[in-house]
Amino acid sequence: MNRRDFVTALGAAAAANWSSSTAIAHAAMSPLKQLADHKGLMFGSSLALKYFTQSPAYKQLFISQCDIATPELQMKWNSLSHQPGVYDFASADQLVTFCETNHIKVRGHTLVWHDSLPAWIPGRLSSTTAETIMLDHIHAVAGHFAGKLYSWDVVNEALDPGSQRQDGLRTSPWLQNIGVDYIEKAFRATAAADPHALLIWNENYLEVSNGFGAAKRRAMLAQLDILLEQGVPIHGIGLESHLRGNQANVLGDASYEAFLAELAKRGMKIFITELDIQDVTLPADVSERDQTVADIYKKFLTATLRQSAVKGVIAWGLSDAFTWLSGYAPRKDGLPARPLAFDANCQPKPAYYAIADALETAPRRA
């Protein structure tokens, strides 16, 4: 049975009895990190160590499948600091140690964002304080982990064409209180604090070929041109890729590939950083739903990986047992969300085989 036939068979088996396909699945499954490595790519997932306590099987799955990880919450500002100038790195340090022990690279996530801020920050921000607060945070956090991480998401979700600004920048607290050069200042400060890490601008909705996505792409390229002309050390772009089950017609088309090519022309390394697929709009039938999700993974990743500037794929979770979408986008019929490559029992789904196929057919990086 070839892989494509197995995907169909596995989807049908899932609707009836997942346990009956377990032995076949294990026999057919190759680690995604291994398939990626054969093409000069990395594969990984978001990571929260608490899930390992809940499921030892998930711990083994993570180690077997991933060679790069993004902390789910542990390096966000509100997780690290609950009062000005005071940081608790214990949880984040534990995650980094786990990854070092298991030869997994770590992406720092995230230094400057309009969300996940400690409660004390909004009342202290002003045109005279915001820059110092931002830079002190970058120096403290990036400095603490200097030399230990593969990359930093320096600036996160800085664009919003709906803001009515001509430059497409989001009217975040940092833009409002520091000005448009807050992005430049953040990247330069991170480069000084952790000079060996790749510095990434992480952004959402760049992968969607509709009016909003097209506006975001134009704003991204325009801002990149300005910043790179000024010598700002931006090394790569992260595309979050929280996709939806009803987006098949606006994903992976020629305009998307052209956008990736434009990023590559500017010397950018490209990463898919938070990949999952909401199934809230899809049918209840498990087989049909899983196949639709798998088809979207295959279409999107095949188009993405044709661009050699793409260096890695990081999912936002591996097992449906631990997906944020269960709370963020629950199904109205009450059925469990199934957005990821492995089911709640850490067994491969059609999505796994779709991702594997996309990796296997990708051109090898030099």
Distance CA 94, CA 69 (A): 13
Q: Closest Cα to residue 240, out of 267, 210, 205, 292?
A: 205
pLDDT of residue 272: 99
Distance CA 328, CA 12 (A): 28
Q: Closest Cα to residue 262, out of 301, 303, 307?
A: 307
- Catalytic residue from among 184, 203, 207, 274: 274
Question: At which residue do the structure tokens 């979207």 appear?
Answer: 296
CATH number of the structural domain 3-361: 3.20.20.80
Q: Closest Cα to residue 30, out of 363, 358, 364, 352?
A: 352
Contact assessment for residue 306 and residue 19, using Cβ atoms and an 8 Å cutoff: no
Contact assessment for residue 233 and residue 197, using Cβ atoms and an 8 Å cutoff: no
Cβ-in-10-Å burial (0-12, 13-18, 19+) of 344 comes to middle
- Catalytic residue from among 157, 184, 207, 240: 157
Domain locations in the chain as residue ranges: 3-361
Which residue type does 259 have?
A: F
Q: Per-residue pLDDT tens, the chain, 366 aa: give them.
A: 334 443 434 443 333 333 334 333 433 589 999 999 999 999 999 999 999 999 999 999 999 999 999 999 999 999 999 999 999 999 999 999 999 999 999 999 999 999 999 999 999 999 999 999 999 999 999 999 999 999 999 999 999 998 889 999 999 999 999 999 999 999 999 999 999 999 999 999 999 999 999 999 999 999 999 999 999 999 999 999 999 999 999 999 999 999 999 999 999 999 999 999 999 999 999 999 999 999 999 999 999 999 999 999 999 999 999 999 999 999 999 999 999 999 999 999 999 999 999 999 999 998
The pair of structure tokens assigned to 339 is: 């957005």
Distance CA 286, CA 344 (A): 13
Cα–chain center distance at 78: 19
pTM, two decimals, is: 0.93
Decide if 157 is catalytic.
yes
**Which region, left, alpha or beta, applies to residue 317 given φ > 0 means left and ψ of -120 to 50 means alpha?**
left
Contact assessment for residue 36 and residue 64, using Cβ atoms and an 8 Å cutoff: no
Cα–chain center distance at 9: 30
> Which stretch of DSSP H or E encloses residue 198?
strand 198-203
Distance CA 326, CA 291 (A): 19
